[in-house]
Homo-oligomer: A and B are copies of this chain.
Amino acid sequence: MLSDLVIENVAVITMDSEQRTVRDATIVVESGVVIYVGPAADLPEGVSERLGQMPRLPGRGRIAIPGLVNAHTHAAMALFRGYADDLMLQEWLTTKIFPIEAGLTPDDVYWGTLLACAEMIKSGTTCFADMYFFMDEAARAVEESGIRASLSVGMGSMAENAGGSGGPGRPDGFGAALARGSDFCERWNGAAGGRITTMLGPHAPYTCSLPFLSATAGRAGELGVGVHIHISETFREADEMRSAYGISPVEYVESSGLLDLPVLAAHCVAVSDGDIDILARHGVRVAHNPGSNMKLASGAAPVQKMLSAGVAVGLGTDGAASNNNLDMVEEMRLAGLLHKATLLDPTAVPARVCLEMATRGGAACLGLDDDIGSIEIGKRADIVLLDFAAPHLSPAGIADLASHIVYSACGADVSAVLVDGRVLMEDRRLTTLDESAIMAEAEARALRLAGRVDGNRTQ
């Protein structure tokens, strides 16, 4: 599974610390690790000797970038794609999303996650951070698909189903929720040859009491895992927290001690300058979800300010019920456009920064920055190849390649995907998953789930 591989005559955006772009490069992968990236002429002798026996992947006409990291999603919600759109948030949650989630079985989560993995691989995502329930089945899907993921069980101690997308599911009390999340970590952390890592997933400040967050912090420390949590997704959440406790959601979480752990905070839309100071001081990593925040009308997270303050920011799609796809190429574009539009500054969040957030930033979010996030010697060979022979990516010679990827490409331009050097897709054909079977299962399961809510559907 940990493959040897050579890609020749490929253009590479390495995203390494020197921001190297090489228009005609060779990439050499051994046992799933990058052992060379650069011009063919500079290949060290020890490496070039061994190239002869290694399998080739075509590089000409392709651009290689680090695999994209989806820093926040609820993968199995792919089953609910297009089921309920253009509604007010509370109506969307209470009349559509909570009722349909209530019918989910473990098998549904397995197939929904497989559907999400197929979609993510086909649009260049090699790693994702997931929070949902029935996560053993999600882990099974990740294991089979060959993708990399950081998985967490959504946990809450307060309101029933208070979270909606990725909500705490069936609350069965403080201890039971934490045990469910911890047991999952013990079963799966480091599984699938290290492709699966885990976090604890307290859902959000408004669904988790302070003692629960403190207990979560303690457990995460014992387990040696990070924490994945939603914080300040909406101004309403921030206002309600301030009314109830006189503090912000970020301050609430800080007061529990949770921020002393490695924390991945999703959204952070409604955060003040003071909140950003807290996030920076604790090294909290933020998953920015421009598509979901726009579609649910939550607002624009202060991404420029967070980056300036030194906060690591990644990009996420959120679940497909609020996006409605898991396409990180599109998410980069939305990040670039949203902030230019809302700050009225055409230099805000330039293309390179979008690509940085989707690769290195995401890797930092998941605590995997030593392993992935750039194409450089010693890192895992999680690599995406885009086919640039398309009218919408022409001409390429005078273009900034990052600009083409962020402002003009789409997920379907991804032609090949490697994780640990293993080819999960080539020429847009998946090697690990049966796309047709997954789509047929997803279709049948979605019809059954929606039928429970809306009555029988046979359209």
Contact between B296 and A447, CB atoms less than 8 A apart: no
B contact residues around A397 at 8 Å (CB): 443, 446-447, 457, 459
Given contacts A295-B407, A324-B407, A398-B450, 7 further A-B contacts (CB under 8 A): A81-B394, A86-B351, A122-B392, A294-B341, A323-B407, A395-B447, A410-B411
**Closest residue to A438 on the B side, CB-wise?**
B391
> Would you give 15 A-B contacts (Cβ < 8 Å), ordered by A?
A85-B407, A86-B346, A86-B351, A119-B391, A295-B337, A324-B408, A325-B392, A341-B342, A391-B435, A392-B411, A394-B438, A394-B439, A396-B443, A398-B446, A410-B410
Min CB distance A402 to B, Å, is 9
Residues of B within 8 A of A372 (CB): none
Complex partner residue of A398 from B83, B333, B347, B407, CB under 8 angstroms: B83
Q: Does A343 contact B (CB under 8 A)?
A: yes
User: Contacts A394-B443, A443-B395: A343 and B81 contacting too (C-beta < 8 A)?
Assistant: no
Chain B residue numbers with a CB within 8 Å of A271 are none
Tally of this chain's copies: 2
Tell whether, in the assembled complex, residue B398 and residue A346 are in contact, meaning their CB atoms are under 8 Å apart: no
- 1/0 per residue A8-23: CB within 8 Å of B? 0000000000000001
The 8 A CB mask of A368-412 against B (1 = contact, 0 = none) is: 000000000000000000000111111111111101100110111
B391 and A115 form a contact (CB under 8 A): yes
- Which B residue sits closest to A292, measured CB to CB? B337
Closest B residue to A320 using CB positions: B408
A345 at the interface (CB under 8 A from B): yes
CA distance A411 to B393 in the complex (A): 13
A82 and B407 in contact (CB under 8 A), knowing A23-B459, A394-B442, A438-B391? yes
- Asked if residues B391 and A85 are in contact (CB atoms below 8 Å), the reply is no
Binding site for B on A (CB under 8 A): 23, 78-83, 85-89, 92, 115-116, 118-119, 122-123, 291, 293-297, 299-300, 320, 323-327, 330, 333-334, 336-338, 340-348, 350-351, 389-401, 403-404, 407-408, 410-413, 435-436, 438-439, 442-443, 445-447, 449-450, 457, 459
Whether the pair B293, A341 counts as a contact (CB closer than 8 A) is yes
* Residues of chain B within 8 A of A459, CB atoms compared: 23, 397
**What distance in Å separates the Cβ of A118 from its nearest Cβ neighbour in chain B?**
4
Minimum distance in angstroms from A223 CB to a CB of chain B? 33
Q: Is the CB of A87 within 8 A of B395?
A: no
How distant is the Cα of A293 from the Cα of B340 in the complex, in angstroms? Answer: 9
Output the nearest chain B residue to A83 by Cβ-Cβ distance.
B398
Q: Is the interface of A mostly helix, strand, loop or mixed?
A: helix
- Cβ distance A385 to chain B, nearest Cβ, rounded Å: 16
Query: Measured between C-beta atoms, what is the minimum distance from A103 to chain B in Å?
Result: 12
User: Please, how many angstroms separate the alpha-carbon atoms of A391 and B439 in the complex?
Assistant: 7
- Given the complex, which residues of B lie within 8 Å of A78, measured CB to CB? 391, 394
Q: Which residue of B lies closest to A24 (CB)?
A: B459
- For the complex, give the distance between the alpha carbons of A122 and B410 in Å: 13
A23 and chain B: residue at smallest CB distance: B459
- For the complex, what is the distance from the CA of A78 to the CA of B78, rounded to whole Å? 35
A324 to B336, CA, bound (A): 12
Contact of A336 (CB < 8 Å), options: B295, B338, B412: B295
- Give chain B residues whose Cβ lies under 8 Å from the Cβ of A408: 81-82, 320, 323-325
Within the complex, which residue of B351, B407, B435, B442 is in contact with A395, where a contact is CB–CB below 8 Å? B442
Given contacts A86-B350, A92-B346, A346-B297, contact A399 B337 (CB under 8 A): no
Q: Which residue of B lies closest to A122 (CB)?
A: B391
Q: Which of B92, B392, B396 contacts A119 (CB 8 A)?
A: B392
**B residues within 8 A CB of A435?**
391
The complex places the Cα of A333 from the Cα of B436 at a distance, in Å, of 26
Check B297 against A341 for contact (C-beta < 8 Å). Answer: yes
- Whether B392 pairs with A346 at a CB distance below 8 angstroms is no
User: How far does the alpha carbon of A50 sit from the alpha carbon of B23 in the complex, in Å?
Assistant: 57
Residues of B with C-beta under 8 A to A393? 81
Q: Determine whether the beta carbon of A400 is less than 8 Å from that of B82.
A: yes
Selected from B80, B87, B400, the residue in CB contact (under 8 A) with A347 is B87
A346 touches B295 (CB 8 A): yes
